[in-house]
Chain A
Amino acid sequence: MTGLPDTPSAAGSGRKAREVRKPGRLQRITEHLRREWQIYAMLLPTVLWMVIFLYKPMYGLQIAFKDYSVFRGIANSPWIGLEHFETLFNNDQFLRALKNTIIMSAYGLLFGFPVPILLALMFNEVLSQTFKKSAQTIVYLPHFISSVIIAGIVMTAFSPSAGIVNTALGWFGLEPVYFLTKPEWFRPIFIGTGIWQEAGFQSIVYLAAIAGVSPTLYESAVVDGASRWQMMWKITIPSILPTIIIMLIIRIGNILEISFEMVILLYQPATYETADVVNTFIYRQGLQGGQYDFAAAAGLFNAVVAFVLVMTANTISKRYSRTSLW
């Protein structure tokens, strides 16, 4: 139908683009609200909640720049500029906490990141569905157990008197070690616990990615005589590489997010040296020590750095895969 010319005016009616009678902006909004007020009513509680419980504290962050006193309140306390931040960066404990946070995150990444991938690949190679399902049921479980219980289990297992670990050491004639009071043992125990608790559950993301690989790829590889080992390397891993990279970027973006609840549950003054992280530092200084303004300054620093990291990670992963975090 190439010979068909563009068809301008034919029927007489409404041919010219009509001038739209522009109702006033206010009138348009009123009309819209009259029609759709209900969805705004549905949104209102959530937005109000966010304002009261999450945005109002952001306003409260100003105490990081103030000499906060409970009696004067947030608004009326005097401004003191960056004094708290100066103190903060001259504070050995804070610097130590910052260092510990980064070190523990880095170790967590180094040892913790590959395990779920490995698990997913291994699950994928299991032939018996029953075996696979039962194993998955078991390894997902710790994810749902509270940190208090996990910490309780760790403390019991590593206890110097009755703990299973020391009992086992005893079989080899080794002296019992009071693990949880030794700074050099804190990080391995903390990171090991994290892997034990979360690796299974984290493998779900990769298993889903593997499930998305087209079976025809494997079928043609079988026809070509590939072994399972070769198929894993040549098909499965390359196929889930994008997922791996995105998860890695996200993990790096969240590097300041140490599960400090677990740290609080496991550390003690003897291990602060290696165990204290930024959030536990804030907890002790602020909530236990009452230095709200100083602790808030540490928190603000933490939040800003975390925000920048997360946004950067989000941007990169968006660019990488056109799928963003949220």
Chain B
Amino acid sequence: MANMNLYSRGDKLFVIVNMILIGLFAISTLYPFIYITSLSLSTGFEARAGNVMLTPVEFTLEAYKRVLIEPQFWISYRNTFIYTIGGTLMSLAFIIPGAYALSRPQLYGRRFWNLVVAFTMWFNAGLIPFFLNMRDLGLLDSYFGIIIGFAVNGFNIILLRNFFEGIPQSFEEAARMDGANEFQVLWKVYVPLSKPAIATVALFCIVSRWNGFFWAMVLLQDEDKIPLQVYLRHVITELTDDESFGAELINAPYSVETVSAAIIVCSIIPILLIYPFLQKYFSKGILLGGVKE
């Protein structure tokens, strides 16, 4: 791109130092992931002895084997998929029509309805009333409770509403004159026109569902329903104190550290797979939903 020869000596130095600093920051970001991956691929003995630094020591897949034979791992992995896919679809089912309605100038009391949505971003009843409400609704320990209870959030609605508002009104009018009703206008015209924004919202939902931990921990007691993150937490904090696992470890080629690391790697992989999309749409999304009236 730029021609280095055009720069003065001071500029060259500046550019090079800058590059080194950024490189260092990037390495420091990447290193923990490399470290965890190497840990998961090393023997339990080497891991406990603190010999793993950068690359796997005495490469082995034993930790993964141990993780993959654990039924609870598969149960919670499946659950996370259920919550992520179900929750995202549920969110879109609410958010797309809701945001579209809020973007229509013909909506009576449009300011009021927008305020109803925006207010939930500024004021939040807090943990206790939300929990009691979920309990009163009979949504504790239920797949449906997790899926519906976090389906809508103001930020996503406003993000999509802003996008819909940017589409000229004449698209709606032309479609209406062509005989489309509002549902057809939305589905056949606005949704196809808003693919990037909808993808952004969908990805926001996917990430928050995949990573969701706190409410799953609070609302779900049944081990058959817990998602991966809650299971992961159990493993990381409780495996050390688990007596039967402790006994199992005595002659095992894996350790608490390598098993934890292996589960971490397993749960990061799906995020890495969709990361190219995340990077593409998230940066657009935060700018679209953020500082804008």
Contacts and interface: CB of A to CB of B under 8 A. Distances in A.
The answer on direct contact between A and B (beta carbons under 8 Å) is yes
8 contacts: A29-B108, A50-B120, A135-B22, A139-B25, A141-B275, A144-B275, A155-B236, A228-B7
Contacts of A204: 282-283, 286-287
Given A42-B182, A131-B19, A200 B29 contact: yes
Contact of B264 (A152, A161, A296): A152
A111 to B, nearest CB: 15
B50 A139 contact: no
Interface residues of B, number: 102
A183 interface: no
A38 B182 contact: yes
Nearest to B218: A287
Interface in A298-316: 299-300, 302-303, 306-307, 310-311, 314
A55 B128 CA distance: 13
B249 interface: no
Given A52-B137, A148-B233, A39 B107 contact: yes
Given A47-B113, A300-B126, A129 B1 contact: yes
A208 B129 contact: no
Nearest to A131: B19
Interface of B: 1-2, 4, 7-8, 10-11, 14-15, 18-19, 21-23, 25-26, 28-30, 32-33, 35-36, 39, 47-50, 52-53, 93-95, 97-98, 100-102, 104, 106-108, 113, 116-118, 120-133, 137, 148-149, 151-152, 154, 157-158, 181-183, 186, 207, 210-214, 218, 229-230, 232-233, 236, 257, 260-261, 264, 267-268, 271, 275, 278-279, 282-283, 286-287, 290-293
Chain B interface main SS type: helix
Contact of B14 (A42, A148, A205, A229): A229
B57 to A, nearest CB: 12
Which of A45, A50, A136 has the most chain B CB atoms closer than 10 A to its own CB?
Answer: A50
Chain A interface main SS type: helix
B47 A162 contact: yes
Interface string A158-173: 0101111011001000
Contacts of B123: 58, 303, 306-307
Please give me the 7 A-B residue pairs with the lowest Cβ-Cβ distance, nearest first.
A299-B126, A46-B98, A146-B211, A42-B97, A38-B182, A57-B129, A43-B101
Interface of A: 29, 32, 36, 38-40, 42-43, 45-47, 49-50, 52-58, 60-61, 63, 74, 119, 122-123, 125-129, 131, 134-149, 151-153, 155-157, 159, 161-164, 166-167, 170, 196, 200-201, 204-205, 208, 227-229, 243, 246, 261, 264-265, 279, 282-283, 286-287, 292, 295-296, 299-300, 302-303, 306-307, 310-311, 314, 321, 323-326
B62 to A, nearest CB: 17
A314 B94 CA distance: 27
A42 B101 contact: yes
A43 B113 CA distance: 9
B53 A45 contact: no
B29 A153 contact: no
A125 B14 contact: yes
Contacts of B2: 127
A123 B125 contact: no
Nearest to A147: B213
B1 A299 contact: no
A157 B107 CA distance: 54
Given A43-B113, A149-B229, A151-B236, 15 more contacts: A39-B101, A49-B148, A50-B117, A57-B129, A126-B18, A126-B19, A135-B23, A139-B29, A153-B35, A156-B39, A162-B48, A164-B50, A170-B50, A282-B128, A292-B132
A168 to B, nearest CB: 9
Given A152-B236, A229-B10, A296 B128 contact: yes
B25 A119 contact: yes
Contacts of A296: 126, 128-129
A326 B288 CA distance: 10
